[in-house]
């Protein structure tokens, strides 16, 4: 009796299994909006991309008038490709020139930056609205009145209040001097009169005595 044996061995593979390689993330960091040198006001949508190899996070900073260094505004741990990065409220800043900074940081702390300069104008002067020109209303025609008797208004003259007219001091001095002289001469004249009277009386007495004496002899 004849026994036939058949052995089936699997064929060896030509090489190892092919492996699919993981693609490296795209390195892109940029700010699309707002556009460079644009004028912004109110709340501004900052859009763009933030993605680098070994990505850790991205931050938004702003540098403006009077800033010693960029001010930190926002941080995000997620990659962004062509999408919104941050809502910037410009009302919290005074008007002026600002630099918006996108800083993309990897796990080792190294970073790449994108910058855009804008002009914040929240207090801009509004365009004045032209006011309507007023229409002049014509006045009604007036009929001239016939001339009448003219009325003469007499303004009364205020009567002067009589007062005492002061005499100058110089005019009073002569009269005062005359009065003083008269006061000084009156006693003197009176004395002369009295002395004359006494002398006359004594003379008459002496004459009478002489006559009497002559008659008696």
Q: Would you say residue 1 has pLDDT above 50?
A: no
Mean pLDDT, residues 96-103 taken together: 98
Q: Which one has a higher pLDDT value, 181 or 7?
A: 181
Prediction pTM value: 0.49
Say if domain 28-120 classifies as CATH 2.102.10.10.
no
| Residue 178 pLDDT | 57
Give the domain ranges of the chain.
Answer: 28-120, 173-217
CA distances from 70 to 6, 86, 91, 136, 216 (A): 82, 16, 18, 60, 163
Q: Per DSSP, what are the bridge partners of residue 105?
A: 57, 111
Q: Would you say residue 8 has pLDDT above 80?
A: no
pLDDT in tens, 14-73: 455 555 666 667 899 999 999 999 999 999 999 999 999 999 999 999 999 999 999 999
Quote the CA–CA distance of 52 and 54 in Å, as a whole number.
6
- Tell how far CA 187 is from the center of its chain: 91
pLDDT in tens, 76-93: 999 999 999 999 999 999
């Amino acid at each position: 009796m004849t026994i036939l044996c058949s052995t089936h061995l699997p064929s060896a593979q030509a090489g190892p299994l092919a492996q699919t390689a993981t693609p490296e993330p795209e390195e892109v960091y940029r700010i699309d909006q707002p556009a460079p040198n644009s004028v912004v006001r109110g709340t501004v949508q900052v859009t763009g991309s933030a993605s680098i190899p070994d990505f850790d996070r991205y931050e938004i900073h702003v540098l403006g008038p009077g800033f010693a260094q960029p001010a930190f505004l926002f941080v995000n741990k997620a990659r962004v490709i062509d999408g919104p990065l941050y809502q910037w409220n410009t009302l919290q800043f005074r008007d002026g020139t600002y630099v918006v900074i996108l800083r993309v940081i990897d796990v080792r702390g190294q970073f790449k930056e994108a910058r855009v300069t804008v002009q914040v104008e929240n207090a801009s002067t509004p365009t004045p609205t032209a006011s309507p020109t007023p229409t002049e209303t014509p006045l009604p025609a007036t009929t001239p009145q016939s001339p009448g008797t003219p009325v003469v208004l007499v303004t009364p003259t205020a009567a002067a209040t009589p007062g005492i007219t002061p005499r100058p001091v110089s005019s009073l001095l002569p009269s005062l001097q005359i009065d003083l002289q008269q006061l000084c001469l009156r006693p003197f004249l009176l004395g002369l009169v009295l002395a004359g009277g006494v002398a006359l009386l004594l003379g008459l007495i002496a004459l009478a005595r002489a006559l009497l004496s002559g008659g008696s002899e």
